[in-house]
């Protein structure tokens, strides 16, 4: 039988078309070797797509939890900055933070402000990996609409630079 007589560029083209699920049908590998190589590259390509998506999600969460800067998502949005003055872990204030968010984002209120928490410590300092501030919000049952309006920034509350990252100068209430 006829083998697969194609160039490397044609093979890469076909793999990209297959990974993106477009699949024009203009080529299909025929030999066992080309099918095996294609299968390996498709698995690697799909894994890479998921890895890139995961990296973007991690960067987004890192920006919103700890290392980022508050930036309103829409022009003219109001926000409130809550300064957490604490010793120990920030998550020791979970009940207070949850109650505050319950009240400020209550369905009876209109025009919810964004909420920025500025804390000298990460939310979870007890060594449990994967239990973040946003995990707490999810576990408390806050809907995505509320979770997207809340930031948790780690920084010293006595530092002008850190206060600026939290948007204290433009906040409706601090």
pTM of the entire structure? 0.62
For the chain, what is the HEC assignment? CCCCCCCHHHHHHHHHHHHCCCCCCCCCCCCHHHHHHHHHHHHHHHHHHHHHHHHHHHHHHHHHEECCCCCCCCCCCCEEEEECCCCCCHHHHHHHHHHHHHHHCCCCCCCCCEEEEEECCCCCCCCCCCCCHHHHHHHCCCCHHHHCCEEEEECCCCCHHHHHHCCHHHCCEC
pLDDT in tens for each of the 174 residues of the chain? 456 677 778 877 877 887 777 777 777 777 888 788 888 888 888 898 899 998 888 777 666 666 778 888 778 788 999 988 767 667 778 888 899 999 888 888 777 888 999 988 877 745 555 578 888 888 889 988 888 888 888 888 888 988 998 899 888 775
């Amino acid at each position: 039988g006829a083998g697969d007589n194609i160039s490397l560029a044609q093979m890469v083209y076909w793999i990209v078309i297959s990974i993106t699920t477009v699949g024009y049908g203009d080529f299909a590998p025929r030999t066992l070797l080309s099918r095996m190589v294609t299968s390996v590259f498709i698995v690697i390509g799909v894994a890479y797509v998921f890895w890139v998506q995961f990296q973007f999600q991690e960067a987004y969460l890192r920006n919103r939890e700890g290392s980022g800067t508050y930036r309103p998502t829409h022009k003219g949005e109001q926000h409130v900055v809550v300064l957490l003055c604490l010793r120990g872990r920030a998550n020791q204030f979970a009940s207070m933070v949850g109650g505050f968010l319950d009240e400020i984002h209550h369905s009876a209120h209109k025009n919810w402000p964004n909420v920025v928490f500025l804390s000298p410590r990460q939310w979870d300092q007890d060594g449990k990996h994967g239990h973040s501030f946003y995990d707490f919000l999810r576990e408390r049952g806050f809907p995505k609409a509320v979770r997207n309006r809340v930031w948790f920034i780690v920084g010293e509350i006595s530092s002008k630079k850190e206060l600026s990252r939290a948007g204290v100068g433009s906040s409706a209430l601090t």
